[in-house]
Amino acid sequence: MDNGLTRDQASEALTHLAFYAGWPNVISALPVFKDVFEKRAG
């Protein structure tokens, strides 16, 4: 994100990772994803 990654691009990366790393891993990462973007929005 410090290099210009947008929320949409990060979301797409999680979608791609779901197929490579597995859906359970991505589901576990979602709260972290949400927390990071909420902190950076404010």
**Three-state DSSP state, 6:** coil
The answer to whether 7 and 39 are in contact (CB under 8 A) is no
The per-residue pLDDT for 7 is 87
The per-residue pLDDT for 41 is 76
User: pTM of the prediction?
Assistant: 0.69
The per-residue pLDDT for 2 is 82
The per-residue pLDDT for 13 is 92
Q: What CA–CA distance (Å, rounded) separates 33 from 26?
A: 10
The answer to whether 1 and 40 are in contact (CB under 8 A) is yes
pLDDT in tens, 1-42: 888 888 899 889 999 999 999 999 999 999 999 998 899 876
